[in-house]
Amino acid sequence: MEKIRICLIGAGRVGKVHALSLKNNIPEAELVAVVEKDEGAVQRFTKEFGLKKSFKDHRDALEWGEFDAIIITTPTFTHKMITVDAAHAKKHIFCEKPMALNVEEADEMVQEVEKAKVKLQIGFMRRFDRGFLAAKQKVERGLIGEPVLIKSTTRGPGLPPEWARDVSKSGGMLAEVGSHDFDTLKWFAESKFKEIFAFATNYKCYELKKKYPDFYDHAIIIARFQNERLGMIDIGCPVDYGYDARTEILGTNGVIFVGTVEDNELVVCTKNGGAASPLHSSWRNRFKEAYIDELKYFVSIVKGDGEPLVSGKDGKEIVEAVVAANKSIQTGHSVILSP
Amino acid sequence: MEKIRICLIGAGRVGKVHALSLKNNIPEAELVAVVEKDEGAVQRFTKEFGLKKSFKDHRDALEWGEFDAIIITTPTFTHKMITVDAAHAKKHIFCEKPMALNVEEADEMVQEVEKAKVKLQIGFMRRFDRGFLAAKQKVERGLIGEPVLIKSTTRGPGLPPEWARDVSKSGGMLAEVGSHDFDTLKWFAESKFKEIFAFATNYKCYELKKKYPDFYDHAIIIARFQNERLGMIDIGCPVDYGYDARTEILGTNGVIFVGTVEDNELVVCTKNGGAASPLHSSWRNRFKEAYIDELKYFVSIVKGDGEPLVSGKDGKEIVEAVVAANKSIQTGHSVILSP
Amino acid sequence: MEKIRICLIGAGRVGKVHALSLKNNIPEAELVAVVEKDEGAVQRFTKEFGLKKSFKDHRDALEWGEFDAIIITTPTFTHKMITVDAAHAKKHIFCEKPMALNVEEADEMVQEVEKAKVKLQIGFMRRFDRGFLAAKQKVERGLIGEPVLIKSTTRGPGLPPEWARDVSKSGGMLAEVGSHDFDTLKWFAESKFKEIFAFATNYKCYELKKKYPDFYDHAIIIARFQNERLGMIDIGCPVDYGYDARTEILGTNGVIFVGTVEDNELVVCTKNGGAASPLHSSWRNRFKEAYIDELKYFVSIVKGDGEPLVSGKDGKEIVEAVVAANKSIQTGHSVILSP
Amino acid sequence: MEKIRICLIGAGRVGKVHALSLKNNIPEAELVAVVEKDEGAVQRFTKEFGLKKSFKDHRDALEWGEFDAIIITTPTFTHKMITVDAAHAKKHIFCEKPMALNVEEADEMVQEVEKAKVKLQIGFMRRFDRGFLAAKQKVERGLIGEPVLIKSTTRGPGLPPEWARDVSKSGGMLAEVGSHDFDTLKWFAESKFKEIFAFATNYKCYELKKKYPDFYDHAIIIARFQNERLGMIDIGCPVDYGYDARTEILGTNGVIFVGTVEDNELVVCTKNGGAASPLHSSWRNRFKEAYIDELKYFVSIVKGDGEPLVSGKDGKEIVEAVVAANKSIQTGHSVILSP
């Protein structure tokens, strides 16, 4: 059995998550090279993962070309360029969320990928989480009737990276964090967003406001879909207590809850502590298996079977929703999306 | 010990809840009369509660006057008139939510009550619920830092009464059901509403749409307070699965959850049923103790101690928020409230 | 409607619980007198409950006789004498658990009560708890098949009263605390105990060991019923963390859990505290409604309808089991009970 | 990096679990051969795992010898012979629980392994479970004071394999299923068992009783440790509802719960189903990560670092406890173990 050869673009936090998945859990693939500008990161990375090849520019890696697919984990503003270049080089692409800065970029990515006939999968790993998958199945089997309202919450202990704090350049926290929530809404609503209204506030990061006047650390959004289903999102970063991702799907006959604040390891009861369970500490732990499973799936389609579960078109719709929500925050008005 | 004598105005569902509280759980007070137009209801009621007096019109009851206080449980559009008449007759008033149809009515009620120096308490019983009270205490003790976002959900198995389905006459479901959620938001935000945006849809009651074109059975709302705290509300009636009232208060240092879908009686595990807990069947059961405790409190202030925990001014702010949310649904725009 | 008149024997902790139930929640009955040796307790009690009559000896109360029923909350070693005297005086009897010190006493009580044709109800209030009742119903409807194993845990923050620490005089903690667990086992097993084996240890009360060499503060018991069903009990007092009463019923097709350590008011999530719920603080709170409901039921049968849900015969079987378990602890052998 | 080479003895259910762990999750080791008598199983296995070598007898594998360690998953009565042979061949040994049929076998295994200076780890994977590990840490940090009582429950949907149903040959269900519970008790009690008493019953497998008169499908055990701590175990197989493994550790200052019946994927609320969570379906899923982690640990010590977390001496004490519990069931008396 020949292993799928993968080149990782970006050796940051999520880059490392994928590298570890490849090393420890996906024997069908192997990481063969990394592209990273930061010299120190390159050295640590090639050592930890036993890599022989590294590049500072993705174009050099593509020129070398001894791999089947790339994983893009660099800042959002680089996604389009790298994807288009990789498509031209006939490499399959796994691209982290958010797919792109705006709809135009996303459109171009989809076009070039289609032309090149390579696979493009977007990194919405929640769709591979055991709980979310079970919820989706139950909804499809009609267990709660027709979905009416989808609610999604994401909060985390840390701030997005520096480059993602400038809303104008990155889409800000709605793009970095909220993309997952928008994708969850869309996945369960099975429709395109029709109208979005949002409020945002900066509660905890007063300093950042000086550098980035548009910066917000908490946002709440309500949405209406083309098929009249409704959606609600709230996101907050940083929150002190832990990592918190929960979704609720209300249907005409019932409701489903996915995700809990507790990580359900154990309960400790003491006089002063009450009955206490540990909280999730990070998205890395909460979605550990989902990160492995999305990459396993990508590897399997690169080997020839099936289509991406999360396509470029899916990614594009989320970009569109994020852009609309940011516009609502900036204008104070609701934003109507084209059908 | 002289018992506080109470006259109940309205012998419907919530009227009976209060009558039962008085009979079974509040020995300091006694129900002495009922005002009700429906002849059959009067007979059943006077028999069940051993009442000697009944009236068809609240003015006749006030003229008789052998009681200390009234409990108003009639339709919203009667609240102002009855409150004003009772204030003139120097009777203390417990008035069910929503307080009134609009701010003008609420203003008049507050004025007349103040002039007459009688007590007026609004029926937001959640403020007396053990869980909500504990949450409030913990927030006030700073356990979760400064509140940032308050979320409230209410869903129930039944529709509001017929008269409450015409949004123009009653405020509709936002008034009948959502009042509680608006009050919870305000209570924890400790501020006035500044801006409100809402979507509403009719998912389950197509027939009602013909008779009441503005009718909706599900609504979602986001709000911003004068102190920049945020709020989210979603309500739905009827939902098939049970009665569901949950609140979440996110602070700068933690988060508090009040209320669960399960009523925590027991868990039954079977192969096909999974691990299943019963759901709350009704607001009557979920807030059983809170209904008793709000009335106990009212009786205690009628006897001379303290001020209403939920005042006419509180009630008025909620009326204002409900009116704004309905306007947002009708216009499609967010509504800015006066500070 | 004539109220049932009740005389309370014993003005201690559980005596007060019953007095409060009568005052605040059972309008069909009224407390008319108290019997209590402690002068100070009598004064506080008659004042708090507005009583006109008090006695130091139950025989004086019986001689006065202007009541329908008595509630016995005095130490176990007095139960037989008071019950027999009350039966002779044709008073109905609500007797706290444990019913008696030994089977001979229990037998005499049952006989005299039957002769006198008065009602005798034993204070196993868990049978009136909403959760336990729901569990019983579900078992009876066959939801988990045939019961196979019943497990019951009771732990509490405080020690039994002084007189109950001497195992030889009172049955010790197995009688004071464990009676509830034995009754739960029997109720769900629907059979008589056949064999009992127990271990006990003194972990926390070393001082008491000096005064009462047989004293233990933790005990574990396994039992086999005549119908071959199995049972497990563990009890511990004092435990630091709170009041904890949980039951598990394993059937051939499923399992039911009743009771949780958490009191389910709310969940507070903070970085250091995890996701924490308050614990039950006391049996008074945990079984607040059950204490009211068992007395309501007793009042209803005194008025003429139906038989005790927990009879003298039930109480006697529990006494038998407690005696057997204590014997097992003392001898180190399992104890076989007569069929 | 040279991979640790492993030979698997036994290609049954748990053999496959370990083979999958090696293939998918432990890149530091590789499975190189399998020993299995069943021809069909061998073919399926070598194909699925791409093995070039297979043997019908473990002695042939040891003679070939091109591996560092073996994993024993054959029936209990073969453990001693294979372990002793492997020790003589200087192979490291991972041996499934229960370690052996009786203390004499276990003693011999420990001796030969010590003489040969090879590593021997027993397959009590619960010690590697995230929840159990967290509990152990918290106990060691003194969070609940000194442990007083340890309770462990294991139930599963299936019966042990045929050879394990004959209590005289295999130790029966107490050995096959209950070994885990005995080990958990010992691990938290940090002491040797002192006295054990048990009841067992056959509730569901009447047919098996004919073939194996000693067969039982449910058993309950209480135990006392040398350091006076207490223990309770209940096991049942088959149970219809799912796989259920829960542990409770009561300390002088608090209590810890590990494991839940729910697998916490999601909650579905419907009118008839209540609030329902899926149950664990199998030990494979419940302890999926623990099975990987125990083998990872074994591989790491074979590479040279550290001692087994679960040693032959640990395994022997559990064998001793199982033998005692079976003796208690057969004799009806408690069994005292040598200190």
pLDDT in tens, A172-231: 999 999 999 999 999 999 999 999 999 999 998 888 888 898 899 999 999 999 999 999
Enumerate residues 6+ apart whose C-beta is below 8 A from B142. none
Cα–Cα distance between D152 and D132 in angstroms, integer? 12
> What angle (nearest 5°) sits at the alpha carbon of residue B239, between those of residues B234 and B242?
105
C233: exposed, middle or buried (Cβ count in 10 Å: 0-12, 13-18, 19+): buried
DSSP codes, D51-70: -SEEESSHHHHHHH---SEE
* Contact criterion met (CB < 8 Å) for C256 and B267: yes
* Contact criterion met (CB < 8 Å) for B266 and C143: no
* Contact criterion met (CB < 8 Å) for A276 and C279: no
Which of A153-162, B136-145, C26-35, D319-328 has the least mean pLDDT? A153-162
Partners of C268 on chain B (C-beta within 8 Å) are 138, 143-144, 254-256
B141: exposed, middle or buried (Cβ count in 10 Å: 0-12, 13-18, 19+): exposed
Mutate which: B239, B246, B277, vs D, most D CBs within 10 A: B277
From the list B27, B254, B266, the residue facing C258 with the nearest CB is B266
**Chain D: which residues have CB within 8 Å of chain B?**
240-242, 244, 261-262, 267-271, 273-279
Partners of D50 on chain A (C-beta within 8 Å) are 1
CA-wise closest residue to A319 among A88, A35, A83, A59: A83
Residue D279, min C-alpha distance to chain B (Å): 5
Tokens 């909650």, residue located: D267
Q: Which residue of D has its CA nearest to A267?
A: D257
Cα–Cα distance between A105 and A117 in angstroms, integer? 18
On whether the CB atoms of residues D30 and D22 are closer than 8 A, the answer is yes
Q: Which residue of A has its CA nearest to B202?
A: A228
On whether the CB atoms of residues B243 and B180 are closer than 8 A, the answer is no
Q: C147-155 and C193-201: which strand pairing?
A: unpaired
pLDDT in tens, B53-82: 999 999 999 999 999 999 999 999 999 999
| Confidence check: pLDDT of C1 > 80 | no
Extract the residue ranges of chain D whose pLDDT is less than 70: 1
Q: What's the pLDDT at A1? A: 60
Tokens for A219?
């946002």
Say which DSSP state B24 is in. H
| Confidence check: pLDDT of A170 > 90 | no
Over chain B, what is the mean pLDDT? 96
Residues in chain A, how many? 339
- B167 pLDDT band, cuts 50/70/90, is confident
Residue D241, min C-alpha distance to chain B (Å): 4
Residue C82, min C-alpha distance to chain B (Å): 31
Distance of CA C175 to the CA centre of its chain: 9
Partners of B264 on chain D (C-beta within 8 Å) are none
Cα–Cα distance between A110 and A317 in angstroms, integer? 12
Tokens 């996303």, residue located: A106
Share of chain B above pLDDT 70, in %: 100
Partners of A262 on chain C (C-beta within 8 Å) are 274-275
CA dihedral D153, D154, D155, D157 (to 10 degrees): 160
| Confidence check: pLDDT of B162 > 90 | no
Cα–Cα distance between D310 and B66 in angstroms, integer? 81
Cα–Cα distance between A186 and A189 in angstroms, integer? 5
| C-alpha to C-alpha distances, C301 to B79, C288, C292, C297, nearest whole angstrom | 43, 21, 15, 6
Partners of D268 on chain B (C-beta within 8 Å) are 274
* Helix (H) or strand (E) segment spanning residue D175: helix D172-176
Partners of D293 on chain A (C-beta within 8 Å) are none
- Chains in contact with B, where contact requires at least 3 CB pairs less than 8 Å apart: A, C, D
Q: Which residues of B41-74 are buried (b: 16+ CB within 10 A; e: fewer)?
A: bbeebbeebebebbbeebeebbeeeebbbbbbbb
| C-alpha to C-alpha distances, C294 to C71, C126, C300, D92, nearest whole angstrom | 12, 9, 10, 64
**Chain C: which residues have CB within 8 Å of chain A?**
240-242, 244, 261-262, 267-271, 273-279
Cα–Cα distance between C283 and C303 in angstroms, integer? 28
| Confidence check: pLDDT of B1 > 70 | no
DSSP codes, A230-270: EEEEEEESS-SS--EEEEEEEESSEEEEE--SB--SEEEEE
Which of B152-156, C212-216, D27-31 has the least mean pLDDT? C212-216
On whether the CB atoms of residues D18 and D73 are closer than 8 A, the answer is yes
pLDDT in tens, C44-64: 999 999 999 999 999 999 999
From the list A240, A244, A276, the residue facing C274 with the nearest CB is A276
| Confidence check: pLDDT of A166 > 90 | no
ipTM value:
0.95
Average pLDDT over residues B26-40: 96
pLDDT in tens, C326-338: 999 999 999 999 9
Q: Under DSSP, is residue C296 helix (H, G, I), strand (E, B) or coil?
A: helix
Name D246's bridge partners: D153
Average pLDDT over residues C3-29: 97
| Confidence check: pLDDT of C102 > 80 | yes
Cα–Cα distance between A25 and D34 in angstroms, integer? 22
Enumerate residues 6+ apart whose C-beta is below 8 A from C262. A274, A275, C277, C278, C279, C280
Partners of C148 on chain B (C-beta within 8 Å) are none
Q: What's the pLDDT at D168? A: 78
Q: What's the pLDDT at C100? A: 97
On whether the CB atoms of residues B54 and B41 are closer than 8 A, the answer is no
Q: Under DSSP, is residue C54 helix (H, G, I), strand (E, B) or coil?
A: strand
Cα–Cα distance between D158 and D166 in angstroms, integer? 16
Q: What's the pLDDT at D187? A: 98
Other C-beta atoms lying within 10 Å of the C-beta of residue D207:
10
Identify whether D238 is preceded by a cis peptide bond (ω within 30 of 0).
Answer: yes
From the list C240, C275, C278, the residue facing A261 with the nearest CB is C275
Sheet with C4-9, side-by-side order of all strands? C53-55, C29-35, C4-9, C69-72, C92-95, C120-122
Partners of A273 on chain C (C-beta within 8 Å) are 273-274, 276
From the list D204, D218, D230, the residue facing C230 with the nearest CB is D218
Tokens for B114?
């103040």
Say which DSSP state B124 is in. -
Cα–Cα distance between B165 and B49 in angstroms, integer? 30
CA-wise closest residue to B73 among B92, B99, B45: B99
From the list D204, D232, D261, the residue facing C220 with the nearest CB is D232
Distance of CA C168 to the CA centre of its chain: 19
From the list C271, C273, C279, the residue facing A269 with the nearest CB is C279
Other C-beta atoms lying within 10 Å of the C-beta of residue D211:
11
From the list D261, D262, D274, the residue facing B279 with the nearest CB is D274
Residue C281, min C-alpha distance to chain A (Å): 9
CA dihedral D96, D98, D102, D103 (to 10 degrees): 80
CA-wise closest residue to A234 among B202, B177, C275, B224: B224
Enumerate residues 6+ apart whose C-beta is below 8 A from D35. D7, D8, D9, D10, D54, D55, D56, D57, D58, D60, D61
Q: What's the pLDDT at D1? A: 60
Cα–Cα distance between B251 and A241 in angstroms, integer? 10
| Confidence check: pLDDT of B305 > 80 | no
Residue D46, min C-alpha distance to chain A (Å): 15
Largest Cα separation within chain B, whole Å, is 65
Distance of CA A222 to the CA centre of its chain: 20
- Chains in contact with D, where contact requires at least 3 CB pairs less than 8 Å apart: A, B, C
Residue D289, min C-alpha distance to chain C (Å): 23
CA A13, A19, A20, A25 torsion: positive or negative? positive
Q: What's the pLDDT at B315? A: 98
* Contact criterion met (CB < 8 Å) for B236 and A149: yes
